Structure formats: C-alpha cells, structure tokens
Amino acid sequence: MALEDVYRRNKYHKTHRAGWLRAAVLGANDGLVSTASLMIGVSAARADSFLITAGAAGIAAGAMSMAVGEYISVRSQNDIEESDRLLEIEHLAVDPAGELEELIEIYMNRGLDRELATKVAQAMSEKDALAAHLRDELGQFPHTKARPVQASVASALSFTVGGLVPFAGALAPTVGTKVMSIIVFTLLGLIGTGVLSARIAGSRYLKTTVRILIGGSLGMAITAGIGSLVHLSGI
C-alpha cells in the first residue's frame, strides 16, 4: 500500500483528543453527579425550599472550581515538562557523548542490536538531538501535549451542561418526589455521557457507559444517605 494510505488511516487515531477529552468527561460526570448529589442531599434532609437555589449555586461554584483546578493542574504538568526540556538541553551541552550512549541504550532496550541502535541514535541526534531525547527518553509528544486553556474551558462547559441535567429534573413536572425526577434525569445524563465519551474515544460503548453509570449512582446513593442521616439527627 502507498504511504498516503497509511497517513489516511492514521487520522482515525484518537490520541490527539486525550488532552481535552479527559477534562470534558471529568467535567460532565462531575457536573452530573455533584449537582445531583447536592440536590438529593438537600431534599433528603427535608430542605426542599433550598433545592433550586442549592442546585444553581452548585453548578456555578462547581464550573468555576473545575475550570480553575483543571487549568492549574494542566499548567503544572506543562511546567514539569518544560523543566525537563531545559534540563535535557543542559545535559546535551555538558555531555553529548553520554547522551548519545543513553539514546543507543534506549533503542537497544526496544529490540535493536547495538550496531543498528547506534546508527539510529546518531541519525536522530544529527537531525534534532533534543527532540529525540524528549520523545524517546521522556515520552513527550507535541500531539499529546495538554493545553491548559483548552482543558479549562472544556471542563467548565461540560460541568455546566452536566449540572443542568439534574437541575432540569428538579424543575420538571413529576408524579413522584423531586428526588426521583432528579435521579432519573441524572441516570439518563450519565448514560449519555458514557455513550458520547465512548464514541469520541473509540472505545466500547457498554463498558464505558456502565463504568460511568455505576460510579455516578454510588455517589448519589452515598449523598442521599448522608442527607437522610442529617435529617434524622436534627442537625
């Protein structure tokens, strides 16, 4: 097959989505579970008059918290990678021969004999020694590099969208309690999040959806139990 066919097939890889997909799935799941858990906890404590206020406040506070937290965490990761890059520049300047030998050993550990590993290491070093070490020694790749702003925005938006699902459940007409309405809306939201994330990541729908559904259900159940205990204790 032609090399063009290989490049065309490579477009189906999902690795380049890792930076924002992780933040988006985390945000959506957190928005669904934390908002639903908050509202269920309030309702279980028999404080229904504060239900809508608690839900709205939870969405706003959670979205801002996710955005700031995601930005700081990803930025810290980038700072570590930049520190390693500067350190590698220093190592190459101080001991280029030793760094070349290190590269040779890396390729030998991957299955090449010493002669071939030496040729590959020399060719890579002549082209761009720093890039070779960042990629093959430290595992830094430009296409998987996390972007703080992108991750922050994805996290905040997905949290808000996720949080609005149980919030809508609290506002929806229901023949039962508001808690049941919130739970049903949230479970549907968790299923939707699982299906969407599986589709974007190219993973199995059932496995991904069940994992998200179980985790979210446990979170809601624990919060409802705590809310009931608060009500029974009279706090």
Q: Where are the domains of the chain?
A: 18-233
pLDDT of residue 115: 92
Residue 160, Ramachandran bin (φ over 0: left; ψ between -120 and 50: alpha; else beta): alpha
Q: What is the pLDDT of residues 139-157, one digit of tens each?
A: 887 777 778 888 888 888 8
What residue has token string 């030793």? Answer: 98
Q: What is the pLDDT of residues 153-185, one digit of tens each?
A: 888 888 888 888 888 888 876 655 677 888 888
DSSP class of residue 175 equals S
Query: In b/e form, how buried is each residue of 38-49, taking b as 16+ CB within 10 angstroms?
Result: bbbbbbbbeebe
> Whole-structure pTM over 0.75, yes or no?
no
